[in-house]
């Protein structure tokens, strides 16, 4: 992400460093298809999980990561993602709810979307180009975040994960088949414990 400036909106509470990389779960695992439990303990265990999530997201070159993607059924995600002005935002949201524009305010953006839990596969998906995400920070205090562009897409994508929804569920049957074919064709580059074991080399 070197084309972007340093995070100007950093709500990571100093937890974006020092974590341990964990294995990223895949869509065919049960934890990816259940509604997560609300976060109700804002303690050292939660902070340790968040550190590991940031480390895992960074190792996988992602812009967002939800707790189910490291096998934990908690309503929590981390993000480090650019907005429509290419400004990076970084932070943590517990128990998020996303508010999307309606009526004339609703503008759909159609662009390729991917997921670290179905690595290597992308398909176009239309989502509203702005979103408000409300939840709690790592200390249990209320927060409200406004996202545009890719950041708005990130808020929607990660909150979907916490409701047991993967973005492939939102695709047409044809697009989902193409997505699955892409994933299978590249599966040999992604070890089962990826990104603990890095992605294999792809020669062209």
- For residue range 135-191, list pLDDT tens digits in order: 999 999 999 999 999 999 999 999 999 999 999 999 999 999 999 999 999 999 999
Residue 30 lies in a domain: yes
Cβ–Cβ < 8 Å for 19, 55: yes
Residue 201 lies in a domain: no
Mean pLDDT, the chain, integer: 95
Residue 1 lies in a domain: no
pLDDT band at 203, cuts 50/70/90? very low
Cβ–Cβ < 8 Å for 126, 109: yes
Residues 168, 90: Cα–Cα separation, whole Å: 25
Residue 194 lies in a domain: no
| CATH code: domain of residue 146 | 3.90.45.10
Does pLDDT of 3 surpass 90? no
Residues 54, 161: Cα–Cα separation, whole Å: 16
Q: Based on the structure, what is the number of domains in the chain?
A: 1
Residue 195 lies in a domain: no
pLDDT band at 5, cuts 50/70/90? low
Residue 149 lies in a domain: yes
Residue 57 lies in a domain: yes
Query: Which 8-state DSSP code applies to residue 33?
Result: G
Cβ–Cβ < 8 Å for 127, 108: yes
Residue 51 lies in a domain: yes
Provide mean pLDDT across the span 19-30. Answer: 98
pTM (whole model) above 0.75: yes
- For residue range 90-131, list pLDDT tens digits in order: 999 999 999 999 999 999 999 999 999 999 999 999 999 999
Which positions are annotated as active-site residues?
Answer: 158
pLDDT band at 7, cuts 50/70/90? confident
For residue 165, give its domain range: 9-187
Does pLDDT of 204 surpass 50? no
Residues 133, 156: Cα–Cα separation, whole Å: 8
């Amino acid at each position: 992400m070197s084309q972007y400036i340093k995070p100007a909106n950093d709500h990571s509470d100093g937890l974006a460093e020092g974590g341990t990389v964990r294995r990223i779960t895949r869509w065919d695992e049960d934890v990816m298809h259940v509604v997560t439990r609300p976060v109700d303990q804002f303690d050292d265990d939660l902070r340790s999980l968040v550190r590991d999530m940031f480390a895992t997201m960074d190792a996988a070159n992602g812009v967002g990561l939800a707790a189910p993607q490291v096998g934990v059924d908690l309503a929590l995600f981390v993000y480090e993602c650019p907005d429509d002005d290419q400004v990076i935002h970084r932070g943590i949201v517990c128990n998020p709810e996303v508010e999307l524009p309606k009526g004339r305010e609703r503008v759909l953006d159609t662009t390729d979307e991917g997921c670290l839990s179905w690595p290597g596969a992308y398909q176009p998906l239309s989502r509203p180009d702005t979103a408000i995400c409300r939840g709690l920070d790592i200390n249990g205090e209320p927060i409200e975040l406004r996202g545009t562009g890719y950041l708005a897409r990130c808020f929607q994508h990660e909150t979907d994960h916490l409701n047991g929804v993967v973005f492939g569920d939102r695709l047409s049957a044809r697009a989902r088949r193409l997505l699955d074919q892409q994933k299978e064709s590249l599966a040999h580059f992604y070890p089962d414990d990826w990104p603990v074991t890095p992605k294999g080399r792809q020669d062209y």
